[in-house]
DNA sequence: ATGTGC
């Protein structure tokens, strides 16, 4: 373990620019009071450092670079922050690391929610045995049918085949206000009972009412940034780019009694075909998030408010202020869009399967976010839990699961890994209280996009997928999204399991992948 | 992540 070359504890120095990291520059924070307890590590309080909980094996801790750790410390020291969790998939992000949890009873932090408000995972299970997708021709037809309905790529909206679900301005306004309400689901051809399979199927305004959201939306619609609101609504049912994807899977339930029992509660069947989706709030969420960043940064400048650690990405608003209220309303509007976007994608994917395999049925297993702030009870008092690339993980018996299908099991946790090693469905264990009921959100990047393009070989990436018989809509798989650009998924999961946060219920093994190929041919 | 650099 090498000593960091800079002092990541400083709360005055601005963070270094992320672009200057060199290959092999893999420092590990070795600051005061760092201890390892089993496989979990804590940065203990010192005179200057409040505690940060780090969940990761020794190998995983080697993946945390200087900037990531500095962002964690900066976030921990920011006003009103009472808890900061670093998960094994952590890497540097906007303000706080992707793969962190920030808790505050008094402040809201837009950066530690993230640029893509309510970026989430969803899993659709089909009543199909695995061998139904053995035939490569069938898989090619499925890829085509899905891509005709749910496009990938920036700026892309609905395809003509989905025009029966056209979103006019009135419906657009309704869905960002109501989320997956019964009326919205009916209008878009989404099974209304899927709302019960959502972590949250709708989001209300800052005061707990929909009226507050409605007033905020009218204000926003009068601004220049929102002149293309109707166009943004046309993106409903699309994936976008970057790390977003759709993936056809085969479910492999874990070979133990607990996994079998929980899988049954989840409705997961061993050997069934399923479809995993990763996307968020697209252009609409982006306008809201980036608008809030700029707005708050301007206020900090104008009023001369000191930035946490000098980092503009860590601007915040005290709860109860107009700024906090407006942010919470905008987050809810973006979150409602993301919710309906995911459910519509699942409805369109099911429709695509039915086009290729007539009569097939499908149901949503779960929809859960990893980029959202939720008001939860932490240490016996209400607080905003900001999960930035982190997934809620509430075990059996948790009070907030009362009345849901998962009260006695814990809810499904959907974790994308990579097409080669698979993805995972997990369930929280009682130990998750130590991480503010959170786990990782996936594997986490280990190579930056530029770095990946420089060091990874295109034909190796494509050959590896081919040798695993995994098809894709991409002629060449985006190299900055290759499995090797991400951390070792098994080591990440081992960190979570050995720390007592969650247990594995099932693996999802990829049969074909749908990604944004528009930048793959550079 | 993104009306993907403005």
A508 pairs with which residues across the strands?
A: A251, A423
Contact A517, A58 (CB under 8 A): no
In a domain, A53, yes or no: yes
Q: Identify whether A105 is part of a domain.
A: yes
**Within a domain: A264:** yes
Strands A471-472 and A502-514: parallel
Residue A518: predicted pLDDT: 85
Which pLDDT score is estimated for A153? 87
Residue A49's pLDDT is 66
Q: Which domain holds residue A78?
A: 32-520
Nearest DNA or RNA nucleotide to A119 (CA to C1'): B1
**Active-site hit among A342, A441, A451, A494:** A441
User: CA–C1' distance A243–B5 (Å)?
Assistant: 20
Given a contact cutoff of 8 angstroms between Cβ atoms, the answer to whether A111 and A96 are in contact is: yes
What pTM was computed for the model? 0.92
CATH label of the domain that carries residue A443: 3.90.1860.10
Residues of chain A with pLDDT under 70: 1-49, 158-164, 520-522
In a domain, A26, yes or no: no
Residue A2 lies in a domain: no
Structure tokens at A478: 């985006």
Q: Exposure of A424 by Cβ count < 10 A (0-12 exposed, 13-18 middle, 19+ buried)?
A: buried
- How many angstroms separate the first and last alpha carbons of chain A? 37
> Considering only CA atoms, which residue is closest to the C1' of nucleotide B1?
A116
**Cα angle A123-A209-A396, degrees, rounded to a multiple of 5:** 40
The reply to whether A514 falls in a domain is: yes
Predicted pLDDT at A283:
95
Q: Is A364 helix (H, G, I), strand (E, B) or coil?
A: strand
- Token couple for A305: 């408010």
Strand nucleotide closest to residue A232 (CA to C1'):
B3
Residues 283-312 of A with CB under 7 A from strand B: 283, 286-287, 290
8 A C-beta contact, residue A503 and residue A259: yes
Query: Is the C-beta of residue A153 closer than 7 Å to nucleic acid chain B?
Result: yes
Name the residue with the least CA to C1' distance from nucleotide B3. A155
Closest by CA position to A88, among listed A100, A71, A73, A72? A100
- What's the Cα-to-Cα distance from A1 to each of A91, A92, A125, A296, rounded to whole Å? 18, 20, 44, 39
Give, in Å, how far the C1' of B1 lies from the CA of A156: 14
- Detail the DSSP E strand segments found in A11-140: 34-37, 40-43, 52-55, 83-91, 98-104, 107-108, 120-129
How many domains does the structure of chain A reveal? 1
CA-to-C1' span, A268 to B1 (A) = 30
Classified as helix, coil or strand, A242 is coil
Q: What's the CA–C1' distance between A402 and B6, in Å?
A: 49
What pLDDT score was predicted for residue A159?
67
Q: Which nucleotides of B are covered by protein (CB under 7 A)?
A: 1-4
């Amino acid at each position: 373990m090498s000593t960091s070359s800079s002092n990541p504890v400083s709360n005055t120095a601005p963070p270094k620019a992320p672009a200057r990291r060199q290959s092999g520059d893999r420092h590990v924070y070795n600051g005061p009071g760092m201890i390892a307890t089993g496989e979990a590590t804590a940065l203990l309080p010192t005179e200057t450092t409040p505690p940060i909980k780090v969940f990761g094996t020794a190998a995983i801790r080697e993946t945390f670079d200087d900037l990531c750790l500095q962002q964690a410390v900066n976030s921990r020291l920011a006003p009103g922050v009472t808890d900061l969790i670093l998960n094994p998939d952590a890497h540097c992000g906007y303000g706080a690391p992707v793969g962190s949890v920030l808790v505050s009873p008094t402040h809201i932090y837009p950066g530690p929610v993230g640029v893509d408000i309510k970026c989430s995972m969803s899993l659709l299970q089909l009543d199909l045995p695995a061998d139904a997708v053995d035939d490569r021709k069938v898989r090619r037809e499925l890829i085509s049918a899905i891509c005709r309905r749910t496009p990938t790529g920036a700026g892309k909206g609905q395809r003509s085949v989905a025009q029966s679900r056209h979103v006019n301005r009135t419906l657009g306004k309704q869905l960002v206000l109501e989320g997956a309400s019964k009326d919205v689901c009916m209008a878009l051809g989404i099974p209304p009972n899927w709302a019960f399979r959502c972590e949250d199927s709708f989001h209300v305004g800052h005061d707990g009412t929909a009226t507050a959201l409605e007033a905020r939306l009218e204000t926003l619609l009068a601004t220049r940034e929102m002149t293309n609101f109707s166009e943004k609504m046309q993106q409903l049912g699309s994936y976008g780019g970057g790390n977003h994807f759709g993936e056809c899977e085969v479910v492999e339930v874990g070979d133990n009694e607990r996994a079998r029992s929980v899988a049954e509660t989840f409705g997961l069947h061993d050997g069934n075909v399923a479809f995993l989706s990763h996307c968020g709030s697209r252009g609409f969420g982006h306008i809201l998030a980036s608008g809030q960043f700029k707005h708050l940064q301007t206020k900090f400048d104008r009023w001369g408010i000191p930035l946490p650690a000098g980092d503009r990405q860590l601007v915040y608003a005290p709860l109860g202020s107009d700024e906090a209220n407006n942010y919470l309303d905008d987050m809810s509007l973006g979150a409602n869009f993301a919710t309906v976007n995911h459910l519509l994608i699942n409805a369109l994917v099911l429709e695509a399967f039915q086009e290729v395999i007539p009569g097939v049925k499908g149901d949503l297993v779960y929809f859960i976010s990893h980029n959202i702030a939720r008001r939860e009870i932490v240490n016996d008092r209400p607080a905003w839990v900001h999960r930035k690339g982190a997934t809620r993980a509430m075990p059996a018996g948790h009070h907030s699961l009362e009345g849901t299908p998962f009260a006695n099991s814990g809810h499904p946790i959907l974790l994308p890994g990579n097409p080669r090693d698979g993805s995972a469905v997990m369930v929280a264990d009682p130990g998750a209280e130590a991480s503010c009921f959170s786990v990782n959100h996936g594997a986490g990047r280990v190579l930056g996009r530029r770095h990946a393009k420089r060091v990874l070989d295109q034909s190796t990436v494509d050959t590896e997928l081919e040798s695993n018989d995994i098809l894709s809509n991409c002629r060449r798989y985006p190299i900055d999204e290759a499995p090797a650009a991400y951390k070792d998924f098994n080591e990440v999961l081992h960190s979570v399991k050995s720390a007592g946060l969650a247990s594995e219920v099932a693996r999802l093994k990829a049969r074909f992948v749908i990604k944004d190929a528009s930048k793959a041919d550079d």
